């Protein structure tokens, strides 16, 4: 049985096999959730990310979780919003799909996502929530390993958007 839910909270505190980091293309930390994950994981995460020499938008890389409760961190750079006619929807879907594929390949049964690209990258929240939930649901239909996905929302507005999208099944 696959489960998909939204919670409001701090993704650095969630006890799952893997958390997803809404990274930038350097993978070396930044603002928002990316900076919070790097601070909570400690310097080992930075050192592990250095070895990738970056990551293209929509792709994903995996590291250990270091000081985090999660065993792994999956890093995916989401797209920066440029009006919606520059492939942003496809790139965002790829961020979720490629992250879930890495979770599957690394035997992660539980995965927690932040709302990718809806902070400083300015992706419209309702549109991003729809893409995220649709992509996750499609993946879970054929998943052999990933059984539970949580959308960990930092604020009430984001939580409400994902709750609405999950309920509209």
Q: Cite the active site residues.
A: 34
Which residue reads 């994981």 in tokens?
Answer: 41
**What φ, ψ does residue 10 adopt, rounded to 5°?**
-110, 115
Question: CA-based diameter of the chain, in Å?
Answer: 41
Q: How many angstroms from the chain centroid is the CA of residue 54?
A: 17
Burial class (CB in 10 A: 0-12, 13-18, 19+), 144: exposed
Q: How many angstroms from the chain centroid is the CA of residue 78?
A: 9
């Amino acid at each position: 049985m696959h489960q998909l839910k939204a919670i409001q909270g701090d993704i650095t505190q969630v006890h799952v096999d893997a958390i997803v980091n809404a990274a930038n293309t350097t993978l070396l930390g930044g603002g928002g959730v990316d900076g919070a994950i790097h601070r909570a994981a400690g310097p080992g995460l930075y050192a592990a990310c250095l070895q990738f020499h970056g990551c293209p938008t929509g792709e994903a890389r995996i590291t250990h979780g270091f000081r985090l409760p999660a065993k792994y961190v999956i890093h995916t750079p989401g797209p920066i919003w440029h009006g919606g006619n520059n492939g942003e929807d496809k790139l965002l879907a790829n961020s979720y799909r490629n992250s879930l594929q890495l979770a599957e390949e690394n035997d992660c049964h539980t995965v927690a996502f932040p709302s990718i690209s809806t902070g400083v990258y300015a992706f419209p929240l309702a549109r991003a929530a729809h893409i995220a939930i649709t992509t996750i649901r499609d993946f879970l239909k054929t998943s052999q390993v990933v059984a539970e996905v949580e959308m960990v929302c930092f604020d009430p507005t984001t939580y409400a958007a994902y709750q609405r999208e999950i309920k509209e099944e």
